């Protein structure tokens, strides 16, 4: 198989797939503080007496004072709660990082790998990155599972290999919350052989959107069954639908396909000859393949419209009353959607997405949350 064909095969959406870019500049979403001031009076009739006399001025002053006090109270409470959450998370992360050494095998421009990095960075978990050459894949020759991401977790003398981005995310989050041995946790996500629509045998994983928690732990994470169900639903949506919109959009035209492969070559692990072949022949091949994927997924003639609709559907699901789907902090669905979208950053598709949808404020909030949690990444 020639290098261009192998690159195309390596970058197919099921394997880890696509190719793009990361980064951003988030903005905080702080609680609205009451603008009411404090009011008081020395001497004079009591509020009760004033009320009996029908004095609206003192009643207004009392209301303003109460409003100001409540505003300060809720603001202070929000900040204290944020500090408590940070302390709780830091303690869990310290325990994990002291026991585990994490190595992520990836393609930097792969959306599935980007999802895993979003989780690791949000929880400030130290990890090493091994960039895999998409042609030779010699870096993962130790593994019979030939897709990325692969996460290897070394705990003392024991080493565990975690495959599939959603399994990696669920297993690590379960470990952070419950403290169960990772060796035990990964048995909850069994690998199963299946045949896809093209008649090809593929590996699927059971329970991959579930966190394996007891009732108390689940209550701590979610607060209720509805939040858990919602998170699982949108994590699966990111894998089953959103990812498949990225590929046709970044290879929509020959110019966009060439720009995408230019980024792949610069950020990936290619030799000089491989890079030159991949940039031009790979871009041409991916442009043609993107048309087949457009038909397979029944996308509109202008695939941007599908991307825009998906982004606004996500924003509507988050709603206006919470900064993240997870409430005051990103949950696994927030991190999954963010991880998928950020691989387009720096390309025309990303700029169009920010301009023509309502997703940018949410996107920047998630980016800031990750940056504040793990500034080194």
pLDDT score, position 261: 82
Q: HSE, CB side, 13 Å, CA atoms: give it for residue 252.
A: 20
CATH number for the domain harbouring residue 243: 1.20.1050.10
Is residue 6, in this structure, part of any structural domain at all?
no
Is residue 79, in this structure, part of any structural domain at all?
no
Is residue 151, in this structure, part of any structural domain at all?
yes
pLDDT score, position 340: 98
- Residue 160 lies in domain: 88-373
pLDDT score, position 141: 95
pLDDT tens digits, 284-304: 888 888 888 888 888 999 999
| Element spanning 221, H or E | helix 215-222
Is residue 70, in this structure, part of any structural domain at all?
no
- Select from 213, 215, 202, 170 the least CA-distant residue to 189: 170
pLDDT score, position 192: 93
Is residue 74, in this structure, part of any structural domain at all?
no
CB atoms within 10 A of CB 196: 10
How far apart are the C-alpha atoms of 185 and 204, rounded to whole Å? 17
How far apart are the C-alpha atoms of 171 and 213, rounded to whole Å? 11
Query: Structural domain tally of the chain?
Result: 1
Catalytic annotation, residues: 107, 110, 112-113
Taking a C-beta distance cutoff of 8 angstroms, is the pair 212, 167 a contact? no
Is residue 300, in this structure, part of any structural domain at all?
yes
Give exposure, 75-98, as e/b (b: 16+ Cβ within 10 Å): eeeeeeeeeeeeeebeebbeebee
- What is the DSSP track for 299-326? --SSHHHHHHHHHHHHHHHH-SS-SBTT
Is residue 103, in this structure, part of any structural domain at all?
yes
Handedness of CA 175, 179, 183, 184 (dihedral sign): negative
Is residue 224, in this structure, part of any structural domain at all?
yes
pLDDT score, position 52: 34
pLDDT score, position 283: 78
Name residues of the chain where pLDDT drops below 70: 1-98, 375-377
pLDDT score, position 205: 95
pLDDT score, position 4: 52
pLDDT score, position 221: 96
pLDDT score, position 33: 32
């Amino acid at each position: 198989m020639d290098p261009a064909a192998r690159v195309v095969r390596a970058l197919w959406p099921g394997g880890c797939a696509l190719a793009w870019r990361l980064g951003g500049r988030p903005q905080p979403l702080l609680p609205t503080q009451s603008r009411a001031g404090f009011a008081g009076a020395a001497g004079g009739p009591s509020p009760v007496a004033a009320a009996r006399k029908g004095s609206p001025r003192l009643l207004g002053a009392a209301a303003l004072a109460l409003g100001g006090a409540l505003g300060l109270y809720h603001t202070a409470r929000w900040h204290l709660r944020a500090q408590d959450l940070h302390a709780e998370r830091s303690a869990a992360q310290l325990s994990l990082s002291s026991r585990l050494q994490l190595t992520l095998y990836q393609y930097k421009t792969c959306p599935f790998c980007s999802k895993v990095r979003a989780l690791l960075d949000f929880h400030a978990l130290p990890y090493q990155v091994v960039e895999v050459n998409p042609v030779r894949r010699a870096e993962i020759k130790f593994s019979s599972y030939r897709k990325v991401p692969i996460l290897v977790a070394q705990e003392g003398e024991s080493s565990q290999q975690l495959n599939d981005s959603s399994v990696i995310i669920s297993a690590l989050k379960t470990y952070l919350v419950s403290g169960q041995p990772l060796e035990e946790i990964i048995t909850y996500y069994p690998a199963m052989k299946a045949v896809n629509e093209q008649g090809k045998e593929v590996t699927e994983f059971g329970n991959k959107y579930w966190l394996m928690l007891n009732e108390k732990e689940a209550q701590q994470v979610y607060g209720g069954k509805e939040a858990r169900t919602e998170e699982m639903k949108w994590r699966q949506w990111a894998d089953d639908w959103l990812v498949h919109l990225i590929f046709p959009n970044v290879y929509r035209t020959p110019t966009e396909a060439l720009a995408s492969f230019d980024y792949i070559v610069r950020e990936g692990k290619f030799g000089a000859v491989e890079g030159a072949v991949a940039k031009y022949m790979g871009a041409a091949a991916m442009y043609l393949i993107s048309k087949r994927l457009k038909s397979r997924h029944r996308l509109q003639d202008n695939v941007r419209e599908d991307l825009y609709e998906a982004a606004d559907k996500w924003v509507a699901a988050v709603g206006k009353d919470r900064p993240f789907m997870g409430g005051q902090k990103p949950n696994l669905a927030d991190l999954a959607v963010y991880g998928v979208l950020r691989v387009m950053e720096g390309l025309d598709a990303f700029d169009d997405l920010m301009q023509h949808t309502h997703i940018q404020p949410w996107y920047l909030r998630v980016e800031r949350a990750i940056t504040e949690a793990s500034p080194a990444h």
